Amino acid sequence: MDSFPKSALALVETMTATAAKQAERAVAFQGAPGANSHLAALQVDPDCLPVPCFSFEDAIDAVKDGVAARAVIPIENSLHGRVADIHFLLPESGLSIIAEHFMPIRHCLMAKPGHEKLTSAMSHPQALGQCRHYLRENGIIPVAYADTAAAAAYVADHDDLGAAAVAPPIAAELYGLDVVQDGIEDDNRNTTRFVVLSREPVIPEASDGANDGIVMTTFIFEVKNIPAALYKAMGGFATNGVNMTKLESYQNGASFAATEFFADIEGAPGDAAVDRALDELRFHCNSVRLLGTYRQARARG
């Protein structure tokens, strides 16, 4: 908590103390009050008690330690790709994905009242990447910070009238900053996908609705270090008609011996086709680990 800028600390302390009284309603998120993850938590559950956490690890630990019942974590953005380190943090957390949420992202350039020519802008690296064209065209140097709203609080706490922050509009209201320019994201279709994490998995209930009836399953796997391992591992999904909507590779550790993959499919364990596909996947892999099954929030394709 002490890592937050001074302007954010009072809000963080109040929100944390309130949530501590009803942990079953508490939802942890990474960032200072006013961050995009704060807004996402309220959209997922308008009646929740949001708990600001300085890092993704802190938000995950809040759930593991029983401080919060759930955490809302961003995993990928439509403009800037996956959120750094999330592929490592999710498997290590031991938590289960129980829902997903898509939120349009709106970035504002904000500065202290009476600001001068802006030469730098602080924000989370994801936000800076999503606004890189605007910043470059206006000669503003991007400066990475822990999160969007904390960057706004930092600017509010200091007297540099040439410094700005890139954050959601609500952050300007919370920290007394002026909105210099609204909607500076490079694409108005800018959207972030969040997942909701819980200590225990939740099996989605059956539904008769068209899209409401679709569930997703997320898992990671490590292929064997042999020729055509990935091709063989993927064969079971094709032959069983299981739609894979996401497949990303990443290296875990420094050995470069084998590649791990993060994947989403439509369907759930217990479905005959999904079970056959996962059995074939396991045959061609060193390890397969399910991260959660949850209701699809947005149709793919």
Name the H helices within the chain.
Answer: 6-20, 36-44, 56-64, 86-93, 125-130, 132-137, 148-157, 169-175, 229-239, 272-283
Is 56 a known active-site residue? no
> Is 108-182 a CATH 3.60.15.10 domain?
no
pLDDT at 254: 61
Where are the chain's structural domains?
6-104+191-198, 108-182, 215-295
- Comparing CA positions, the residue from 121, 136, 131 lying closest to residue 77 is 131
Amino acid at 44: V
pLDDT at 84: 65
- Comparing CA positions, the residue from 91, 34, 95 lying closest to residue 61 is 95
CATH number of 215-295: 3.30.70.260
pLDDT at 208: 44
Whether 6-104+191-198 shares its CATH topology with 215-295 is answered no
- Comparing CA positions, the residue from 212, 233, 237 lying closest to residue 224 is 233
Is 256 a known active-site residue? no
Name the catalytic one among 194, 219, 221, 237. Answer: 194
192 close to 185: Cβ distance less than 8 angstroms: no
pLDDT tens readout for residues 149-187:
999 999 999 999 999 999 999 999 999 999 999 999 998
pLDDT at 190: 87
Name the catalytic one among 16, 54, 148, 192. Answer: 192
**Distance (Å) of CA 76 to CA 82, 113, 179, 211:** 4, 33, 26, 21
For the chain, which residues score pLDDT lower than 70? 1-2, 84, 205-212, 253-258
Task: Let me know the angle formed at the C-alpha of 62 by 99 and 18, rounded to the nearest 5 degrees.
Answer: 100
Place of tokens 């030469």: 119
What CATH fold (topology level) applies to the domain 6-104+191-198? D-Maltodextrin-Binding Protein; domain 2 (3.40.190)
